[in-house]
Amino acid sequence: MKYTEEHEWLRVEDDVVVVGITEYAAEQLGDVVFVELPEVGQTVSKDDECVVIESVKAASDILAPIDGEVTEVNEALVEDPGKVNEDPTGDAWFFKLKAADPSQMDELMDEAAYNDFIGD
């Protein structure tokens, strides 16, 4: 897995990149009460706002970590946004991307670097 400074994780599965937020981010947000996902087929560029999350503490935007096309979204989060708090690095992924330039992932942190970043 790779990580961003915005507390997103990326996992490559076959020919797509699965994107979600880290456990640290979910803890910081508190109880998630609303998730708005991008449209399937939408093309995103790195740092585009593509997901909106609202929690009891704040509203947050999730930025696209790399360029690509959204191939799938996790509709279960729309029905049950609390899944983000229950399993942020598993079942609560946000969307899947077909990467336009997979080498962009080389610029992201590995788990050790991310843990240093958050002071773990």
- pLDDT, one tens digit for every residue, the chain (120 residues): 999 999 999 999 999 999 999 999 999 999 999 999 999 999 999 999 999 999 999 899 999 999 999 999 999 999 999 999 999 999 999 999 999 999 999 999 999 999 999 998
User: Residue 1 has what pLDDT?
Assistant: 95
User: Residue 10 has what pLDDT?
Assistant: 97
User: Residue 41 has what pLDDT?
Assistant: 97
Domains of the chain: 2-104 (2.40.50.100)
Supply the pTM of this predicted model: 0.94
HEC string for the chain: CEECCCCEEEEEECCEEEEEECHHHHHHHCCEEEEECCCCCCEECCCCEEEEEEECCCEEEEECCCCEEEEEECCHHHHCCCHHHHCCCCCCCCEEEEECCHHHHHHCECHHHHHHHCCC
